[in-house]
Structure 1
Amino acid sequence: MILQAALFIAGLTVASGSICCPPKQFNAFQYVTIVNSTTTLRALYHIVYDGLKQRYLISGDRLNNYLGTTKVIYDYQKMLGYSIGSVARTCTTFPLHGHFEDQENICVPSGAVSLGPYFYGYNRNKLASATYTYNSTTTDGRHQSIEAIVSQDDCVPLVSTTISTDSAGVNSLYVLGYNDFYPGIKDASVLDIPTYCRF
């Protein structure tokens, strides 16, 4: 779910047939809300995303304990996931299924409809953004209606991406927001697998 171009210029990637794409590497805090007929889930995670090496790290939990000591690394080149307890020095591995969700899959497509420019903040500190709406179909055939708010200059996802999904009469709402978004990876060592995980 989370978030998944050869051209990378000043933090902006552009894929063929797209208005813009998010950076191939980033750090961010990600707030997730999922609502359907049976469940409401809210969570805050810290994300380190490395699209160049097809891996990402998630730390946090449904109780918003995003500074906890447990992290999960998904490494699609090895097709392995690692659940790591850094204080207790514990590690559990698990197989990954499917394929890496590259950022090109969540670019704003060229057919998206612009809902107009928006600004966050005011005066000299305001941030220019743009909102787009478009439809998509998941790999398992579900229809999605997507509204994405991105920064105007570099396509960084802002405030929220809202995805409504309809499948056989069962509707769900998925809201994804970002905070403290940093293009690039501040400290790549957080993605290193500790020696006690190498069985």
Structure 2
Amino acid sequence: MILQAAILLVGVSVIVSGNVCCPPVRFTAYQDVTIVNSTTNFRADYLFVYDGVNQRYLISGGLAGAYLGTNKVIYDYKQKTGYRIDTVARTCTTFRLKGQFKDQESVCVPNGAVPLGPLFLGYGDTRLNSKAYTYNSTNAEGKHQNVVAVVTVRECFPVISTITTAGEGGNTLEALGYNDVRPGIRDITVFNIPSYCTV
């Protein structure tokens, strides 16, 4: 089953009231997800496509090393419906989405985030100028989270994020790494719902 990432640093490409910075409202990236707690050690790679204009996103892939897979999950908040699709088996499971699409307020680096200083990835002319921030938030279950987000200086694209969630029996650490991040969506048909999906 494809795991929904807990934090998505997405929004618009300018500083917005209430936020330190937000990346573009549409982007595509590859995402490495690692989750560790006292009972779980999970790792997976995904293709992630975010469409803030239409309040939806897609995650495709699976266990480590499988960025592109036959399985994908589409979260369509305008329709309040999610779709788990296997394109080879031609199966589709739908599920209702709860809550609102998390756009500006939860996906940008918020006001009040504490800057941790500049970071430089790489060397020389090709180095990536980044900034790190830390802030506290609450997840959908009401649990306290501490977030450390590293974003690019110029466009506020995500580089890496760590989320520590307090819970009974210990904390959970989730690390999200991003690579090949590109503004826009190359192929909008990735959001097409196949005919064998029924609500």
TM-score range, shorter chain: 0.7 to 0.9
- Structure 1 window deviating more from structure 2 (121-130 vs 85-94): it is 85-94
2:86 is aligned with 1:85: yes
Question: Which structure: greater strand fraction?
Answer: 1
Assess if the C-alpha contact under 8 Å between 1:134 and 1:145 holds in 2.
yes
- Give 1:139 shift: 4.5
Look up the match of 1:24: 25
- Give 1:63 shift: 4.1
- TM-score under structure 2 normalisation? 0.87
2:193 is aligned with 1:193: yes
CA–CA separation in structure 2 for the residues paired with 1:34 and 1:147: 15
Assess if the C-alpha contact under 8 Å between 2:94 and 2:198 holds in 1.
no
CA–CA separation in structure 1 for the residues paired with 2:143 and 2:86: 36
Q: Which amino acid aligns with 2:138?
A: T
Q: Which amino acid aligns with 1:150?
A: V
What secondary structure is seen at the aligned counterpart in 2 of 1:78? coil
What secondary structure is seen at the aligned counterpart in 2 of 1:190? helix
Cα distance, 1:169–1:78 mapped onto 2, change above 3 Å: same
CA–CA separation in structure 2 for the residues paired with 1:135 and 1:169: 20
How many residues in Structure 1 have an aligned counterpart in Structure 2?
193
Look up the match of 1:67: 68
2:132 is aligned with 1:131: yes
Q: Structure 2: where are the runs of 5+ without partners?
A: none
Assess if the C-alpha contact under 8 Å between 1:164 and 1:172 holds in 2.
yes
Assess if the C-alpha contact under 8 Å between 2:145 and 2:165 holds in 1.
yes
What secondary structure is seen at the aligned counterpart in 1 of 2:89? coil
- Structure 1 window deviating more from structure 2 (161-170 vs 27-36): it is 161-170
Q: Which amino acid aligns with 2:17?
A: S
CA–CA separation in structure 2 for the residues paired with 1:87 and 1:163: 34
Look up the match of 2:41: 40
- Give 1:197 shift: 2.3
Assess if the C-alpha contact under 8 Å between 1:47 and 1:57 holds in 2.
yes
What secondary structure is seen at the aligned counterpart in 1 of 2:106? helix
Q: Structure 1: where are the runs of 5+ without partners?
A: none
CA–CA separation in structure 1 for the residues paired with 2:59 and 2:118: 31
- TM-score under structure 1 normalisation? 0.87
User: How large is the Cα RMSD of the aligned pairs?
Assistant: 2.0
- Give 1:23 shift: 1.9
CA–CA separation in structure 2 for the residues paired with 1:88 and 1:42: 24
